[in-house]
Structure 1
């Protein structure tokens, strides 16, 4: 009686179904790759028609216990074709080699502590292997490696400056004012991806008009991660997949797994890449003559123009600024090995990249150590540790209201202006603007330095196991800690500093200390009935703490040209402290009947200190069903070997911004009396998180033994309780407050075709074609329609309006305020190919973006200064008589249409050509010391086709702000890269 009672208690506490004990037959063996015979870690070995299975260890070995023989085992692994093997006797081992292919059976995330074969997943989860990520050409940063490689994503370059600066949106806009960047998780660690301003606005005044959002051209912190350390990336694009991460998942989740060690002989790898970078598309200068000079600047300027031409002092300052061939050097060393108990992987890399502008560049050193230790057959421990040190010189670019940034100053610079320094290094003042662009380039410092530790630990503890059921506990902890130091120096020798009304030198120094901590614990129980019905139950709790302290010290009127902040006549300081604590739980049940019906239901509960009620739990449910029709007995087709129908629903959230709960105080100084005043922004103690609800429908088809795969997904994503800033009546004493006041909807389609058209002993061709399209609509707005981002309706701005696209661009016109464009693309496509012939390999990726508009204000500034490269062309004037520059200027104040431009492009994202020296030749030279040598050439953005009238249509002046991407004001131009490679394994 006591035993029965005890069993019932366990069932209730651990969500069990009854346990069973049956007879056993043990099958063992090793799973390897046909390409080199390397053991495959984490390969799946499953009894066909059941969920009963095992995963290989670091040696590729597996052990599986079954009730009766014969059985058919299905072997699969990420990036490899699956294989079925009939086992009719107990003779061991059963060794299997897998061939690289279309990876229908790769493993994808299905819970916080579990995964599932892609063939059984009801969600469209994108995966990128190490080969796809960095195998063609080394990217400058991790986020740059994601360009065009997965459906449903929009990647925008906030800056072309070395060191990154990208924003990623998954399946459209998910927030107007809240966070719109995905959550990044590396080996179980929640990592920070903030872009922290360095205080340049104190000089540029960029936020003095238009949008007050961040325009300081900072890097984003995911750029710190070394892409070469990564083994696999999974991208949960919508709420139906990301619901397991609750209130941090409304913008999607990027799950990164880094490389792990393999048992056996220690393997070493060394790679060296050299190359250079160039501007993608320089505009050129206006074709000046004496008449044009006189018309633009008056007769007094003509002699200066003709004298400069006669003396050879006529300069293309755009080419002088952006025409550098920045040198690139990437060095990497890695090693992997270990024994039966302990395995390790270590990676060390150093990158040194110069920009296309003098005195800009990026240096990064990264060290990684991953350890796995098997304490016993029941306990496994894992450790991931990464240290990064980087330094980025960003230059002084983007928008400003003082005419001092390099880009804005260049728009007023003429070829006959004399800006080069004399023999003593003294720069003349520019006669056409507030800044001598060469002096600003050479003397201004804008540097960011980062020291970062990312450490994660895990414990996998098997609590119970028999033939039909098992129970394990998984514990995880993570720390992401970094110190960011920024330093911006504007010496008093600068033209705009050493004038009446100037600041007489500015020194800005900032420091950010960020600490992210996360903890989680889970129980996972598997149970399989005699009728091959599998139940997998998981339950767990999570805790996250985010703590950031940032200060900026702005010193003006530098004494004796010192740049210490204490050596100044005027010192100002600002400090921002952010702290957030979240806690939650997660419960999920997965049911699998013979790989025919796979259903999942789960719920996540979250609470946060950022919510109005910090103790209130917000619940995020999920449910999904996948039906593999090809696994039913009636399916007999030899051509179509996979037909899966899937439906999924899920909810996720987005916390309110820090500080939206309360009304803060501002410091004040009136008549020399210091004090505090109430902020004009009123807090809202009832603020709630945004809630995202998504329905996803799709199907997957596999043809010709899975050599061709078609994936189709349709989704409808609704975001309720949008976080908005509502205006308040002046009588309240406040200007605005945070509130939940609207709904947003995204609908889209994603299509992917993966195929291996040719595979022979000497020749193999794999290909992928992807298509994705998203449309958005503001379905509800409880506040009056409002403009957001950009620089007002005269030039084109974004407008949030019920019944209209969330990304519409409106502006003035003769008919009033009208829509002139939309930053959302009509559609995007990518075309990725890999061709191998004997020892040669060719890989390339084309990316096509059709439609989508930018607000291009670079052209406006050059027009205002009569310096536009196309100023005299007449293709914009409907009558074909007025030059482009005069025509655009004639519309200023009349229509915003000329400043809203189509941002379509066709781009060769990546190209790689490699040659592997045959093994027999290597053996002759080095005996058995060297395993492989690979030589190659690669490039990034080598071919760029677009009509956009500036450096690159992929641009965003306002960084990763939710709506306001696709705005351009004299950015740091983007570049193309050429690289030469040597890789050795030994």
Structure 2
């Protein structure tokens, strides 16, 4: 029999002396291991006369401990680690690795960063400014959120560029569903027929940030290739909180705060002559009596109340762990009769079924309501911001004694719209998943296991729109006579996967991890929008309207794929990964064709080699990675779309179908993406200072485009694969534990990043997209230019670079010059102070709000004189004078410096609990300081929601807000 001995010991926290439960203890170079029990103790049978144990624990890093037959007791006090290199990151669909061994740039966000500094409104709001390589943009200030997320530049022109979100193995739906208010606003009836102008939220906003333990972001194909079809825009992997063995733990927190507008724009600086010229003697009398009303202040200068209550209960034993969390959020908007309410309940269970089988179950139920008001574009002057542009301070828009509102200058009344309309989203959602791990075979050198995952994301969304017939814009020659909207959306998304993992450890310290598996995703989406016009009195049932119409949108997909991956670790010195993914999709022209996408990466821990003797540079790891992925065509690209129409005939009008103007392509290909990423991670002073630099080049081929169709087809355009895009970028991060002693610590970190895109091949003529018209500014797609180029009509004598399109000049770029965030964490005894600054330099917007106010002659800067080169016209007069002939006034710098969040907290230990129970009090703020030179409420805005090549366009949005919150958290 071979020699062996029993190693044992106790693991405690170096600061508190408390036992650490669940510390992983492994005999280095083997599969032999165990975890510490409720008292922090471990016992492990070790082969041979001596061995090296590797102990690891989340938040504490890894420690190596030598034991032998003559000295088998290995007690250890573990110190919490702030080094980013000690984090564990994903390397595949079922494998992980320490960041110090990873060949990819993977961003991580902790629970503290998400919710323990400030109180974010939604999940996406919590991500803003937290990591490099992404542009996360708020598209609306409306309650309930609305965000656009873009990783490493533009990766498609007409396709979906949002990342794939995965929570505990469940693939999430992040759709945006139009509310149907276009029937009232007719926003899509003008220069842009996009119906996504009605300020709708996206469904990732349903996720409760309080449930989250950590987030990992795979920003490019080099890391995300293994995740398949929907990973071309990156992958956001969310892990929720789970129970820990030991005594039951109860936590309750309460947040209460206020919401205020970031800024107000103010009134035009009126004088008596201007008032009389525009409003007559009655207006002048109001002016002379000091009776002007500031409707901007009445509408937006309000204080909303925000309240968030949170309860967590967790615990378990050696076999069963549980975690229950419930959150109730209720907040007012800064506009009357708007607000957001959400209740979220989560139960996570972990069960050790047998010695070889365990399972993790995650369940989440969400119920939310958002009253979003009526904002953004309108061709009927119906939206609040649009009508405000034509509302004059001498008008009295208050209702009379009978509750009847007078007409405003816009033909609508902003107070009436705010008071009487309903535009509500109601969501009922369930997210559930199970992951089972079966260890099929284990010995000293091998572990073979099988992992299966099943996920379900199912929700119903109800859109309720009530626009009473007494609204002023229905009284003025309107044929609608009031509008009722009843939208009903159901979505069911499932994912199934089965992985086999074989880990082999050699006696020479080389390990091999082989993974192979299959996956299936499916989605069924059904939207039914019922609308009624010419309603009776205060009737709110849409079926009682005189005219009822029904529109239905159905889409579905099934994606199937398999993958294989090999990871090799040579003594923690050389790390190699090779993998391949194969997928097919129903949206591809050939739905049965498999497309193969490889990945490969190499990392070298040079500091692990014997020749490395530097005590200053303690980590030096160059790395390189390559990966490919694909994006299926949009749902309609393969088929000829049909729309309903009325066909006159001898017996009257009959219903029929007509083809739309764009022809489907049965041979359409997916967009393919390849990315080369290389960089280095360098740690100084025992990794107290860590510098990471990443450079990448991403190429997208077979870009989906619209080409001019042959006249004989009966179509105007057709879908083709006809272009290539390229993105090049740099990401640099610095993390520094500047000070750490018994009473005080200071950790600081900085991220800097930039991206540059280029249309490297275009097989159709240059064209504009997004926006409304060239005279107002649009995106320009032209070979050799950035995909984010903004262009527009210019006069013949303009000193502007001309595009390939006649009369169209290049006016700006929506891509930021760079972005930077700076975070700091100070801890002094029981006090903590954290803050995060975010700097976005450049990135232009198309700001059309001032133009609308110019038409109404109410612009806040109407009488300034800094635009007209001749100095003869005021700003308002100048902008109106060049309308239609010069788009330059609408292009503005969208950069800013923003204090994203700041929080100050004090923790008290409760004496009766021997210090195990705590009370934490604090105050925090979000968007407290905002510095920008932008002629509106906030440069973070989008009239077209998450549409990446249109999300730099502003038309009278819901103003953004800042928050101050007070916090109480009790842990028992």
The TM-score with structure 2 as length reference comes to 0.96
- Note the 1:949-960 alignment, pairs <5 A: 949-960=935-946
Give the equivalent residue in structure 2 for 1:694: 675
Displacement after TM superposition at 1:418 (Å): 1.0
Contact 1:335 1:346 in 2 (8 A): yes
Deviations 1:820-850 (A, max 9, x none): 1000000000000000111111100000000
Q: How many residues align?
A: 955
Distance 1:880 1:722 in 2: 46
Match of 1:402 in 2: 380
Distance 1:881 1:36 in 2: 73
Q: CA deviation at 1:564?
A: 0.8
Of the structure 1 ranges 872-881 and 393-402, higher mean CA displacement relative to structure 2 is found in 872-881
Equivalence for 2:343:
365
Output the CA distance in 1 between the equivalents of 2:391 and 2:215.
46
Which residue of structure 2 aligns with residue 87 of structure 1? 67
Check conservation: 2:438, 2:450, Cα contact below 8 A: yes
Contact 2:133–2:754, Cα closer than 8 Å, also in 1: yes
Q: 1:909 aligns with which of 883, 896, 900?
A: 900
Deviations along 1:421-450, one digit per CA (max 9) or x if unpaired, are 1233221111x1121000001111000101
Offset at 1:310?
4.7
Which residue of the other structure, out of 209, 222, 225, is the alignment partner of 1:243? 225
Could you tell me whether the CA contact under 8 Å between 1:823 and 1:852 is conserved in 2?
Answer: yes
SS in 2 for 1:546: strand
**Alignment correspondent of 1:824:** 815
Q: 2:844 aligns with which of 853, 859, 884?
A: 853
Aligned to 1:11: none
Q: Report the equivalent of 1:12.
A: none
276, 282, 304: which is aligned to 2:264?
A: 282
- CA distance in structure 2 between the partners assigned to 1:726 and 1:387 by the alignment: 45
| Correspondent of 1:331 among 309, 318, 327 | 309
Report how far residue 670 of structure 1 moved: 2.4
- Counterpart CA distance in 2 for 1:692 and 1:584 is 17
SS in 2 for 1:963: helix
Aligned-residue Cα RMSD (Å) equals 1.9
Q: Residue 555 of structure 2 corresponds to which residue in structure 1?
A: 578
Quick one: distance in 1 between partners of 2:355 and 2:404? 73
Structure 1 pair 454–722 and aligned structure 2 pair: CA distance change class (3 A):
same
* Alpha-carbon spacing, 1:64–1:614, altered in 2? closer, same or farther (3 Å): farther
Establish whether residue 164 from structure 1 lines up as the match of residue 145 from structure 2. Answer: yes
Alignment check: 8 A CA contact 2:21 2:245 kept: no
TM-superposed CA distance for 1:879, in Å, is 4.7
Deviation at 1:880, TM superposition (A): 4.5
- Matching residue of 1:6: none
Q: Which secondary structure does the structure 2 equivalent of 1:794 belong to? A: helix
Q: Which residue number corresponds to residue 801 of structure 2?
A: none
- Please name the residue that 1:561 is paired with: 538
Other-structure match for 1:978: 964
What is the deviation of 1:650?
0.1
Unmatched 5+ stretches in structure 1: 1-20
SS in 2 for 1:616: coil
1:895 to 872, 882, 886: 886
Counterpart selection for 1:141 from 122, 132, 157: 122
The answer (yes or no) to whether the contact 1:797–1:811 under 8 Å persists in 2 is: yes
Name the SS of the counterpart of 1:859 in structure 2: helix
CA shift for structure 1 position 970: 0.3
Change (3 A) 1:520 1:39: farther
**Contact 2:67 2:74 (8 Å CA) reproduced:** no
Which residue, 251, 262, 266 being the options, matches 2:248?
266
Q: For 1:583 and 1:619, how far apart are their aligned partners in 2?
A: 12
1:813 and 2:794 are equivalent in the alignment: yes
SS in 1 for 2:283: helix
**Quick one: structure 1 residues 547 and 369, their matched pair in 2 at CA, closer, same or farther if it must change by over 3 Å?**
same
User: Scaled by the length of structure 1, what TM-score is found?
Assistant: 0.94
**CA distance, structure 2, for counterparts of residue 613 and residue 547 of structure 1:** 20
Pick one of 405, 413, 437 that aligns with 2:391: 413
Could you tell which deviates more after superposition, 262-271 or 956-965?
956-965
Match of 1:871 in 2: 862
Structure 1 equivalent of residue 517 of structure 2: 540
Question: Measured at CA, do residues 401 and 77 of structure 1 come closer, stay the same or move farther in structure 2, by a change above 3 Å?
Answer: farther
Which of the residues 312, 316, 323 maps onto 1:345?
323
| Aligned with residue 677 of structure 1, among 635, 658, 661 | 658
> How many angstroms does 1:560 deviate by?
3.1
Counterpart secondary structure, 1:497: helix
Structure 1 residues 658, 61: CA separation in 2 closer, same or farther (over 3 Å shift)? Answer: farther
- Out of 781, 802, 812, the residue aligned to residue 783 of structure 2 is 802
Match of 2:239 in 1: 257
Query: How much has 1:88 moved relative to structure 2?
Result: 3.6
Q: Identify the match of residue 384 of structure 1 among 328, 347, 362.
A: 362
* 1:782-840 Cα distance to aligned partner (Å, 9 max, x none): 11111110011111100111111000000111243111100000000000000011111
Structure-2 residue corresponding to 1:221: 203
What is the CA–CA distance in structure 2 between the aligned matches of 1:556 and 1:55, rounded to whole Å?
68
Q: Is the alpha carbon distance of 1:645 and 1:53 closer, same or farther for their aligned partners in structure 2, counting shifts above 3 Å?
A: farther
The residue number in structure 1 matching 2:802 is: none
SS for the counterpart of 1:241 is helix
The 8 Å contact of residues 27 and 94 in structure 1, kept in 2 or not, is answered as no
Q: Does the aligned pair in 2 maintain the 1:930–1:984 contact within 8 Å?
A: no
* Structure 2, unpaired ranges of 5+: 797-806
In structure 2, what is the equivalent of residue 774 of structure 1? 755
1:525-579 Cα offsets, whole Å, 9 max, x none, are 0111121111100000001110111100010011233121111111110011111
- Structure 1 residue 96 displacement after superposition: 4.1
Match of 2:466 among 464, 467, 489: 489
Alignment of 1:633-782 (within 5 A): 633-671=610-648, 672-782=653-763
> CA-to-partner distance for each residue in 1:360-383, whole Å, 9 max, x for gaps?
000000000000011122111110
Provide the secondary structure at the position in 2 that maps to 1:696.
strand
The answer to whether the Cα contact below 8 Å between 2:312 and 2:324 also exists between their aligned partners in 1 is: yes
Which SS does the other structure have where 2:475 is aligned? coil
Kindly report which structure 2 residues correspond to 1:875-886, keeping only aligned pairs within 5 A, or say none.
875-886=866-877
Map 1:14-163 → 2, pairs under 5 A? 27=7, 33-34=13-14, 45=25, 50=29, 56=35, 67-68=47-48, 70-89=50-69, 91-92=72-73, 94-163=75-144
Cα shift at 1:306: 2.8
Question: Aligned partners of 2:880 and 2:645: how far apart in 1?
Answer: 42
d(CA) in 2 for partners of 1:838, 1:118: 30
Deviations 1:448-490 (A, max 9, x none): 1011000000111100111111101101100001010110111
**Residue aligning to 1:625:** 602
Q: Secondary structure at the match of 1:630?
A: helix
Query: 2:460·2:489 contact (CA, 8 Å) conserved in 1?
Result: yes
Cα 1:96/1:874, change in 2 over 3 Å? same
Residues 250-290 of structure 1: CA distance to partner in whole angstroms, max 9, x if unpaired?
A: 10000000000011110000000100101101101101111
Q: Is the 8 A contact 1:660 1:684 kept in 2?
A: yes
* Aligned CA distance change for structure 1 residues 613 and 930 (closer, same or farther; 3 Å): same
Specify the alignment match of 1:18 in structure 2: none
Deviations 1:607-630 (A, max 9, x none): 111111111111111000000000
